Structure 1
Amino acid sequence: MGEGKTLPTYFCRNCENPLALGEDLISKKFVGASGPAFMFSHAMNVVIGPKIERKLITGSYVVADVMCGNCGETLGWKYVETFHLRQRYKEGMFVIEKLKLTKKL
């Protein structure tokens, strides 16, 4: 295997479109609409929806829904803006529901 080349490890469960690299996984302790969710610093092959204000467990945020760029499945959301200083680290991060993912090594 070539140096410096990382293969995608998280894929859309629906169509196997590559979505995120294992090295971009920040946390497995988030909750989405369908249960457990993962936070990633980056996501690929996704479509970002319009910005909307949404009330989540830890407060109000401006978020954008994230859909698979191949099959259109809604995967989770991207944090666009937070209103609380303690939550600012979430801005720009992606939350993808565990049930929407499959992992390949």
Structure 2
Amino acid sequence: YSCVICHSQLVSHQDVISKAFQGRYGAAYLVENMINIMTGKDEDRQLMTGIHTVADISCRICQTKIGWKYIKTPKESERYKLGKCVVEKSRV
């Protein structure tokens, strides 16, 4: 998968964990092992599954926001997301 703006490679097909996630702009993917990204500042954000500490991620080449990375979660059932990223389908 590559950036919709600059076509820089971001994540391999085999690193997509789930295609059943919801992003800010609609459908999204849960992925791991991303490349060519920049990570923003950590912030607490209300998501569909509760409050999580996340950081926005952007394409390193063109700075287009493409999703977020999970940093912390208070829920044990959500810990599988830690260190992984949600990527907006409309941005890749």
- TM-score bracket, shorter-length normalisation: over 0.9
- Deviation, structure 1 residue 15: 0.5
1:79 aligns with 2:79: no
- Deviation, structure 1 residue 77: 0.1
**Which runs of 5 or more residues in structure 2 are unaligned?**
none
1:29 aligns with 2:16: no
Normalization by structure 1: what TM-score?
A: 0.86
For the residue of structure 2 that corresponds to 1:20, the secondary structure is coil
Distance 1:15 1:94 in 2: 20
Query: Matched residue pairs, number?
Result: 92
| Greater C-alpha radius of gyration | 1
1:92 aligns with one of 72, 83, 86: 83
RMSD: 0.5
- Deviation, structure 1 residue 41: 1.4
| Matched residue, 1:12 | 3
Question: Alignment identity in percent?
Answer: 38
Q: For each residue in 1:39-60, what CA deviation from the matched residue of structure 2 results, as whole angstroms up to 9, or x when unmatched?
A: 1012100000010000000011
Q: Which runs of 4+ in 1 moved over 3 A?
A: none
Distance 1:69 1:31 in 2: 23
For the residue of structure 1 that corresponds to 2:86, the secondary structure is strand
Distance 1:15 1:41 in 2: 21
Residue type at the aligned position of 1:88: R
| Matched residue, 1:49 | 40
